[in-house]
């Protein structure tokens, strides 16, 4: 049989639990419990805003477009850079295992500031100029990205197995780090393969 003192402890405990349950919405304003995983989204969509119909068979003088997007789920505002790069089959991509970017220089840069939960998306327009073919070699002289023409001088050898001169347009995501006061590769990149076709 319980004594009166035991009942007091039970009633006090139940009362305290009730007060905490009643006050829990208010406590949420003052207590910051750890949230879910912090991450950034990074995507590349085809001209119809879908993950399909990407340009592949390309030729000099034609205009092409894709959409690049970033989503911030880092738990706070973030400042991003998106570097647009262009490579042939032998040049290095970023290394996801080592978390290092490609050493290739960026051809174009998007600068993006996003609130937590915010998204950004923009078209990426590109075209090729001064493209030449000789023997088993293709040379892309100039690449225009969003209206800016750049001299790339990028060769590609004929791939007899896959039948084409292959290049890759790829984009790297970088994020500003407060501690170092610098941008760092965010270990995210997206890309599309391009087969440079000979003129008709």
> How distant, in Å, are the alpha carbons of 60, 63, 123 from that of 57?
11, 12, 19
What residues contact residue 54 under an 8 Å CB cut-off, 6+ apart?
A: 44, 46, 66, 192
Phi, psi of 162 (to 5 degrees): -100, 0
The first and second tokens of residue 136, run together, are 């088993």
The first and second tokens of residue 41, run together, are 């989204």
What pLDDT is attached to residue 32?
A: 45
Dihedral sign from CA coordinates of 73, 86, 185, 91? positive
Q: How far apart are CA 54 and CA 51, in angstroms?
A: 8
What pLDDT is attached to residue 29?
A: 46
What pLDDT is attached to residue 170?
A: 97
Q: How far apart are CA 155 and CA 153, in angstroms?
A: 7
User: What pLDDT tens digit does each residue of the chain (200 aa) get?
Assistant: 556 565 565 555 555 555 555 555 554 444 444 557 899 999 999 999 999 999 999 999 999 999 999 999 999 999 999 999 999 999 999 998 999 999 999 999 999 999 999 999 999 999 999 999 999 999 999 999 999 999 999 999 999 999 999 999 999 999 999 999 999 999 999 999 999 998 75
Residues facing residue 191 across a β-bridge: 170
Q: How far apart are CA 18 and CA 25, in angstroms?
A: 13
Contact 151, 173 (CB under 8 A): no
Q: How far apart are CA 24 and CA 143, in angstroms?
A: 58
């Amino acid at each position: 049989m319980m004594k009166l003192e035991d009942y007091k402890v039970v009633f006090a405990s139940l009362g305290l639990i009730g007060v905490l349950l009643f006050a829990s919405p208010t406590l949420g304003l003052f207590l910051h419990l750890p949230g879910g995983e912090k991450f950034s989204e990074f995507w590349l969509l085809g001209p119809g805003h879908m993950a399909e119909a990407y340009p592949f068979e390309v030729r000099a003088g034609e205009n092409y477009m894709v959409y690049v997007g970033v989503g911030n789920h880092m738990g706070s505002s973030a400042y991003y850079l998106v570097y647009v790069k262009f490579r042939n089959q032998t040049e290095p991509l970023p290394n996801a295992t080592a978390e290092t970017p490609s050493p290739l220089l960026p051809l174009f840069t998007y600068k993006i500031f996003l609130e937590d939960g915010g998204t950004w998306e923009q078209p990426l327009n590109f075209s090729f100029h001064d493209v030449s073919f000789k023997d088993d070699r293709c040379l892309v002289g100039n690449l225009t990205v969003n209206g800016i023409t750049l001299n790339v001088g990028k060769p590609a050898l004929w791939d007899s197995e896959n039948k084409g001169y292959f290049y890759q347009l790829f984009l790297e995501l970088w994020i500003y780090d407060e501690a170092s006061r610098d941008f760092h590769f965010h270990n995210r990149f997206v890309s599309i393969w391009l087969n440079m076709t000979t003129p008709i």
